[in-house]
Structure 1
């Protein structure tokens, strides 16, 4: 079991911020909350020496914020390209590629998807990051992604149920 040290404590702070992000049904508030969470998570990964994950989180924080301002395909592809250009050369373990792939899918979701479709793509991203965090030994990261998965599934279900009630 990983030791609870300063980097792990920062991961737990990130967890506490991120745990409520998926409760937002409003896409704009959701994206802003993700930005703050990803800044703290980036710090956690830097302190853990997980360079690829830190790069992915740093780019994702900027991407989440920018996606509140524009839905431009050019901007979206810029961020996806940046993830691969900066992340791939820093991959030390094969599982780290999951973070780049998951963040790329999440980028597409934040720029091109809405509602339940966006949530399902973000859910896929969470499974990619959960795998990375399990193999890295990030306590906060594991708790965070497991929570994200559960809360996202619950919120997505509520959104689905509401949409069915409105169409009935």
Structure 2
């Protein structure tokens, strides 16, 4: 049985708080900054749980999210995806160990090449993959985090869509008759 107050789980709770904060953000830069901090906490969490593929992917994701604030280079995305896959092989990912590696790779492409709702939709799919990984890893905070992130991210996408619709309606009323 997993001790809900172990060091590993407590670090997972920190990742939980940072992850919720990330997906409450409407601005992409703030989303990426909080996501970077969450990823570093997640890296420690998964290493403490003994899941090296998830810990490695989370560490790479922390670097990735930080770099994605500064650049939108498709070449940087490619390098990070290749590093992620290479580290997956190095730490011996197999079977379900590839779930976080795949999610990290898709999220890398999304963070570098997408914006707005498309970015959040791609990250939503990655959230579902991490949810499966966390369930299989016994990560209490991780399961809670990814479940809440899915809900918060969906709500933020709805808010962004409403904002876009309201702006379009305002633009339509400004047309000369």
- TM range, normalised to the smaller chain? over 0.9
Query: Matched residues in 2 for 1:110 and 1:117: separation?
Result: 10
Asked whether 1:20 is paired with 2:21, we answer yes
The residue number in structure 2 matching 1:154 is 155
Moved more, 48-57 or 87-96: 87-96
Query: Matched residues in 2 for 1:113 and 1:146: separation?
Result: 23
- TM normalised by structure 2 equals 0.91
| Structure 1 residues 42-90: Cα deviation after superposition (integer angstroms, max 9, x where no partner) | 1111111110000000000000000111111111100000010001343
| Structure 1 residues 123-158: Cα deviation after superposition (integer angstroms, max 9, x where no partner) | 001000000001111001101101110000000011
Moved more, 15-24 or 53-62: 15-24
Q: Is the 8 A contact 1:71 1:111 kept in 2?
A: yes
Q: Tell me by how many angstroms 1:92 deviates.
A: 4.8
Q: Tell me by how many angstroms 1:36 deviates.
A: 0.9
The residue number in structure 1 matching 2:3 is 3
Q: Is the 8 A contact 1:88 1:97 kept in 2?
A: no
The residue number in structure 2 matching 1:88 is 89
Could you say what secondary structure the match of 1:99 adopts? helix
Aligned residues: 168
TM superposition outliers: structure 1 runs of 4+ over 4 Å: none
- Unpaired stretches in structure 1, ≥5 consecutive residues: none
Moved more, 57-66 or 13-22: 13-22
- TM normalised by structure 1 equals 0.96
- Unpaired stretches in structure 2, ≥5 consecutive residues: 170-177
Q: Tell me by how many angstroms 1:2 deviates.
A: 2.3
Could you say what secondary structure the match of 1:3 adopts? coil
Could you say what secondary structure the match of 1:67 adopts? helix
The residue number in structure 2 matching 1:52 is 53
Q: Tell me by how many angstroms 1:96 deviates.
A: 1.8
How big is the alpha-carbon RMSD for the aligned residues of Structure 1 and Structure 2? 1.2
Q: Tell me by how many angstroms 1:165 deviates.
A: 1.7
